[in-house]
Amino acid sequence: MFLGTYEKQLDGKRRLLIPQEFRTAENGAETGVFCFLSITDDCLEAGGAPLMAEYVARIEALPFGGEERTALEEAFYAAQRPLAFDGGGRITLPEGLCEDAGLGEDVVIAGMGSRFRIWDRARWQARKTASRQAAKGVLTGGAS
């Protein structure tokens, strides 16, 4: 699983050091990850084979050629970039993905179980409080 939150910096070539704990055979990311613009938020989403399997299952459960399936195929398959780790455990993020996600030099890598997200640090900081409140509402049944 991808667990933990890590503050990192993109270098001038948009290389990002991925935590060693994220580069394992267990999470399907020992040699690299696939990465795409998050479908739901202004960040990048990445993962290994288990995440790929989750998306493939969701897509294949929809009728072939249907509008919903096509939308997911475009957002997931067409927008995806497989990224291999270099000798230092870094990936190089494509410029277009960085622009689409609004990533600056300072980023946060947030583990989310079968996936992880790469956020612009300022966006992550702005999101944390609201996200914690939403999680609290889920666990307490909406009571604050």
Q: pLDDT at residue 141 above 90?
A: no
Q: Which domain holds residue 100?
A: 5-140
Structural domain count, the chain? 1
pTM (2 decimals)? 0.90
Mode of pairing for the β-strands spanning 5-9 and 116-120: unpaired
Whichever domain contains 55, its CATH number is 3.40.1550.20
| Backbone region of residue 142 per phi and psi (left: phi > 0; alpha: psi in -120 to 50; beta: other values) | left
18 in Cβ contact with 109 (< 8 Å)? yes
Residue 24 is encoded by which pair of tokens?
Answer: 């394992």
CA 132/CA 135 separation, integer angstroms = 5
Give pLDDT tens digits for 30-59: 999 999 999 999 999 999 999 999 999 999
